[in-house]
A and B are shown apart, each in its own frame.
Chain A
Amino acid sequence: MKILISDPNKCNGCRMCRTACAIRKAGVCNPEKSRIQVIQMDECDRYLPLVCQNCEDAPCIAACPKEAISRMDDPVLQTVIDYNKCVGCKMCLNACSFGAIGFDEDRGRPFKCDLCGGDPLCVHFCEPGALTLKDSAMIQYDQARTSALRRTVGIRR
Chain B
Amino acid sequence: MRYFQVNDQCNGCLACVQNCPANALRAEDSDANRVLSHNMARCARCGNCYRICPQKAIEFQFMLENGWDEVKSLELVYCSVCGVPIYTVDYRRTLSEKLGKESEPTCSKHRDEVTRAAKAHFLKKKSPEIKPDIRSDIGSDMRGGAI
List chain A positions with a Cβ less than 8 A from chain B.
8, 37, 39, 41, 43-46, 48, 50, 59, 62-63, 65, 90-91, 93-99, 101-102, 148, 151-152, 154-155, 157
Contacts and interface: CB of A to CB of B under 8 A. Distances in A.
A152 B116 contact: yes
Interface of B: 86-87, 91, 94-95, 98-100, 103-104, 107-111, 113-124, 127-128
A97 B110 CA distance: 10
Contacts of A97: 103, 111, 113-114
B128 to A, nearest CB: 6
Given A94-B87, A148-B121, 19 more contacts: A37-B109, A41-B119, A43-B123, A44-B118, A44-B122, A44-B123, A48-B114, A63-B98, A65-B98, A91-B98, A93-B108, A95-B98, A96-B111, A97-B113, A99-B109, A148-B117, A152-B120, A154-B120, A155-B120
Nearest to B124: A151
Contact of A41 (B87, B107, B118): B118
Q: A interface, by DSSP: helix, strand, loop or mixed?
A: mixed
A20 B119 CA distance: 27
Contacts of B107: 99
A157 B120 CA distance: 14
Contacts of B91: 94
A63 B95 contact: yes
A43 B86 contact: no
A39 B124 contact: no
A51 B115 CA distance: 13
Given A93-B108, A99-B111, A44 B117 contact: no
A37 B100 CA distance: 26
A154 B94 CA distance: 29
Contacts of B113: 97-98
18 contacts: A39-B114, A41-B115, A41-B118, A41-B122, A43-B123, A44-B128, A46-B118, A48-B114, A62-B100, A65-B98, A91-B98, A97-B103, A97-B111, A98-B113, A99-B107, A99-B108, A151-B117, A157-B104
